[in-house]
Amino acid sequence: MQLRYSFRVYPSAGQRTALARAFGCARVVFNDALRVREEARRAGLPFVTSAELSTHLTAVKKTPERAWLGEVSAVILQQSLRDLDTAYRNFFDGLKGKRPRMGAPRFTSKRDNRQSIRFTANAAWRITPGGKLRLPKIGDLKVKWSRTLPSAPSTVTVVKDRAGRYVASFVVETDASEVLPQTTPEVGIDLGLGHFAVLSDGTKVDSPRFLRRAEMRLKKAQRALSRKEKGSCNRNKARTKVARAHARVADARREFHHQLSTRLIRENQAVAVEDLAVKGLARTRLAKSVHDAGWSAFVSMLEYKAARYGRTFIRIGRFEPTSQVCSQCGVKDGPKPLNVREWTCQACGAVLDRDINAAVNVAKAAGLAVSACGAQVRRAPVPAPRSEAGTHPKRPTQRTWEQARIPGPWAREDVTCC
């Protein structure tokens, strides 16, 4: 499988200028190709192919108006055309129902805060013996290596994000040597807001709430931005501060997702989660908390790490009544409001934790072997059947039990059934 490794790069002033030139050329080529296809569509002409766009680009570079396109690597421009093809393919696949529907390709602006360029193997880029990234017509970029690449990368993408940071993203191929040894535990996961994740073995992972904790700092930066005059240099500096504050929140959330997903994949042979309707939940009054949790990114990490390390990943349907079914007897007693965190099964009398019960049901729906010990079930007092009810002999008083030095029934402890 293919993996992407990202590292921070620190270009010099001249290299930042060269990167800005490359970003601009890639943007112009993308917009020119999109304009050609749109004009052909309005005129009722056939769809312009990629080969025709590449020929058109070669001819345009020889004109005086676009001669400056030759100042950057030709691979960057060709990859910009590939990005346009990908955008059209995703748009048409959405119309056919092969993937979630998305809008048609749009023109990119030079005021976009996130820009990127991509180099393939034929661009003659390489990593120098000194650990720097050598890019054609840009130079040797200083890279902050945090880990070793598992294999030789095939492509590298240089990204400038909204916070003004430069990142080099490498695509590498991995083999089956990273498959982890077999293990026994299998776990179901119930994702929530009070607890980020509740496992079928009874473990509860608290929600860090990174956005909620950083709200005061974000509000302060946003108020400072709103006071700046539009178009001024001070406003641009304030915008960068806001972007950096949000980037710190996103980085902390991503690190939390990576650590938790890696631990779950390493400790369990199979992992099951519920397919949540995140887009629908993001339109409710819980929208901020839903976005702060980042369930979709976490589930995506579980999925690709399971494939990477030879684990089993199962996603059950979102309409599975995990919160309505008793995990002990399987009786469904209807939906419950969110404020009900513990409920008693009317059929078997088991007192169930809502989240743990849902996690156990997720594992059972996925066909995983789950022990009832993790459900934290205790038996509630159940009335005796009518056939067993009747007159019982009078029980001795507390003084009688004490004289006989026998512990009375008041000395018994509640028994928790596992």
Residues annotated as catalytic are 190, 274, 355
Beta-ladder partners of 204: 198
**Nearest partner of 189 among 252, 267, 281, judged by Cα:** 267
Tokens of 350: 């088991």
> Cβ of 150: how many Cβ atoms within 10 Å?
14
DSSP summary character for residue 151: S
Put residue 333 in one of left, alpha, beta given phi > 0 → left and psi -120 to 50 → alpha: alpha
DSSP string, 55-96: HHHHHHTTSGGGGGGGGS-HHHHHHHHHHHHHHHHHHHHHHH
β pairing state of 133-135 and 139-144: antiparallel
* Count helices and strands in the chain by DSSP H and E runs: 11, 15
Residue whose C-alpha is closest to residue 119's, from 71, 79, 165: 79
Question: What one-character DSSP code corresponds to residue 154?
Answer: S
Residue type, 101: R
d(C-alpha 119, C-alpha 136), whole Å: 9
Helices (H), 109-214: 210-213
DSSP string, 177-190: GGPPPP---EEEEE
Query: Which token pair is 186?
Result: 């299998």
Q: Return d(Cα 61, Cα 54) in angstroms, integer.
A: 11
Cβ burial 26-62 (10 Å sphere, 16+ → b, else e):
bbbbbbbbbeebeeeeeeeeeebeeeebeeebeebbe
Q: What is the 3-state secondary structure (H, E, C) of 99-121?
A: CCCCCCCCCCCCCCCCEEEEECH
